[in-house]
Chain A
């Protein structure tokens, strides 16, 4: 394999990993704090992508579309949290998984009835390429990676430097004590859920130009996101970042070596990791609340 191919492969993997990270962080945060598995993050991803498509079609600016997508998705996730998840927090884990899956396929139905079944292309905002070590790299992919790293930094600062973030971290450790301190945990839940949904919308908006937007895009992402979350360990943010980039690299470099490997290798790795360490790389030992 020559270096040019390798460099572009690694960068492709990093940008894939960034998208994976932005989506998986939502699932991971929701699991860590509220002990729910929120499959509807995949719906917010699709909605983010579709809003980006529509707005960029009307105004011609993709970035405006991404912003609008994040806002819309934030509002939708707020509504979903208030009306549905608020009622099922204290039930079993499998329960939230099924309910959120219902929201997911219901939402996919709504998307189909609004935008139709045909996959649609989103215009790439910048087609310039820069030269790194003799390889032409599209700038857009670099921007995606930069945004993912910024989001990681932002979340890290939010969780470590603000009082709400500290309360969320404490909630991940021990929910009852946080409640005992007089903090309204349900407000924390809402904030976390909206953050998670907004980030998924951002991931959808950014991923739109790289793939076509189609109604099933969320379902197609599902196995990969599951995998990222499992390898990293549910509830861990650092683990999610590392495993997202790991999976991205495996998908991208695997496809350079042997095409079918790209789809299967991550799953094989996941099975191996789970057999060695049943909670994922950085998962907590905590079983159920």
Chain B
């Protein structure tokens, strides 16, 4: 029981704080944070645990979003099934492109993913315009039928759903980090040859990680689709390609809570700064350079050791309950 608690308490604390944040922040902002942090989680895992930098996360985001959108626009009304279809689409595309991509060198991997994002962008914008309505996008907010337990078309209840999903994903990634597979991933990042020598297949480790990470991204995409009630090719344009990487770096590469902290900081800065000076890229760009020069630890990466020291000391005095 105590072990269970020790394993869970970090996640539960983080999500408790997030829930507290919900009281102070307006609802769209909280939703944005949760969705963004799910979106970034895959990228953070790939970059932090495997050292694979992907500039093409929007490709997988859009795959999930469009799969959900097609279902909700043309076939059904149940948003839960839509999200499930989005996940399946993400799984499918990462299983198709994964074996081709993970063989590549890290620099080519980044660029090839970007190329995939651009291909999907043009496919959705022009080639498949008959189905996707091109730049106008698909609007299906009114197509979604109310569902019994949590009605996803109501923002309040969507937030609860997103919150639970995020919690589950965090538990999954924490489990992965602690498992043998997580250790293999780190080993494959640090020294490929030794991993081979120990009898593990680099290819298989990377492929598994790639599939898991990008299915998560697709899930985020389909949740975005359900939340906003529309999709457009804009979400996969090359100009947006760096968002997840910026947030990953901002939060701290490879840390478990980095994506949440990064998403809060990024969305918050976007909100506050765009209200003040009207162009927040300037600020984000220079912040990114500053973080890189300061040692690429990010916000959470810097805070974590300090917090840990403070918290554990406090915890030691608490009687065990």
A and B interact physically:
yes
A residues sitting closer than 8 Å to B (CB atoms) are 31, 37, 84, 87-88, 92-95, 97-99, 101-110, 112-113, 216, 219-220, 222-223, 226-227, 229-230, 234, 259-260, 263-264, 267-268, 270-271, 274-275, 278-279, 287
Tell me if B285 counts as interface (CB < 8 A to partner A): yes
Which of the 9-residue segments B78-86, B87-95, B237-245, B303-311 touches chain A?
B237-245
Residue of B nearest to A259 (CB): B126
Residues of chain A within 8 A of B292, CB atoms compared: 88, 95, 98-99, 102
Question: How far apart are the CA atoms of A274 and B51 in the complex, in Å?
Answer: 20
Task: Indicate the size class of the contact surface on chain B.
Answer: 35 or more
Q: A99-B292, A220-B238, A227-B115 are in contact. Are A106 and B245 (CB under 8 A)?
A: no
Q: Among A92, A94, A106, A112, which residue has its beta carbon within 8 angstroms of that of B286? A: A106
Residue of A nearest to B121 (CB): A263
Question: How far apart are the CA atoms of A216 and B106 in the complex, in Å?
Answer: 27
Which of B107, B108, B284, B287 has the most C-beta atoms of chain A within 10 angstroms of its own C-beta? B107
Residue of A nearest to B293 (CB): A87
Secondary structure class of chain A's binding surface, majority of residues: helix
- Offer 8 A-B interface pairs, CB within 8 angstroms, sorted by A: A92-B51, A93-B106, A102-B285, A102-B287, A106-B281, A230-B112, A259-B126, A271-B112
Q: Is the CB of B126 within 8 A of A278?
A: no
Question: How far apart are the CA atoms of A97 and B109 in the complex, in Å?
Answer: 13
Q: Is the CB of B245 within 8 A of A109?
A: no
Q: Is the CB of B123 within 8 A of A274?
A: no
Question: How far apart are the CA atoms of A94 and B113 in the complex, in Å?
Answer: 14
The 6 closest A-B pairs by CB, nearest first: A106-B285, A109-B282, A102-B288, A260-B126, A105-B285, A94-B53
Q: Is the CB of B279 within 8 A of A106?
A: no
Question: How far apart are the CA atoms of A99 and B105 in the complex, in Å?
Answer: 19
Q: Among B104, B107, B126, B239, which residue has its beta carbon within 8 angstroms of that of A263? A: B126
Q: Is the CB of A94 within 8 A of B285?
A: no
Q: Is the CB of A112 within 8 A of B279?
A: yes
Q: Is the CB of A94 within 8 A of B281?
A: no
Tell me if B269 counts as interface (CB < 8 A to partner A): no
Tell me if B122 counts as interface (CB < 8 A to partner A): yes
Q: Is the CB of B288 within 8 A of A264?
A: no
Residues of chain A within 8 A of B119, CB atoms compared: 264, 267-268
Q: Is the CB of B111 within 8 A of A105?
A: no
Question: How far apart are the CA atoms of A155 and B8 in the complex, in Å?
Answer: 60
Residues of chain B within 8 A of A105, CB atoms compared: 242, 281-282, 284-285, 288
Q: Is the CB of B281 within 8 A of A226?
A: no
Residues of chain A within 8 A of B112, CB atoms compared: 230, 270-271, 274
Residues of chain B within 8 A of A267, CB atoms compared: 115-116, 118-119
Q: Is the CB of B105 within 8 A of A287?
A: yes
Q: Is the CB of B238 within 8 A of A94?
A: no
9 more contacts with CB within 8 A, not counting A93-B107, A97-B110, A260-B122, are A37-B107, A94-B53, A102-B284, A106-B281, A106-B282, A222-B238, A230-B111, A264-B123, A271-B100
Residues of chain A within 8 A of B284, CB atoms compared: 102, 105-106, 109
Tell me if B32 counts as interface (CB < 8 A to partner A): no
Question: How far apart are the CA atoms of A260 and B280 in the complex, in Å?
Answer: 33
For window 147-162 of B, CB contacts with A under 8 Å fall at none
Residues of chain A within 8 A of B287, CB atoms compared: 102
Question: How far apart are the CA atoms of A278 and B103 in the complex, in Å?
Answer: 9
Q: Is the CB of B127 within 8 A of A113?
A: no
Question: How far apart are the CA atoms of A37 and B114 in the complex, in Å?
Answer: 14
Render B270-297 as a binary contact track against A, CB cut-off 8 A, 1 for contact.
0000000101111111111100110010
Which of B110, B277, B280, B281 has the most C-beta atoms of chain A within 10 angstroms of its own C-beta? B281
Min CB gap B283→A, angstroms = 7
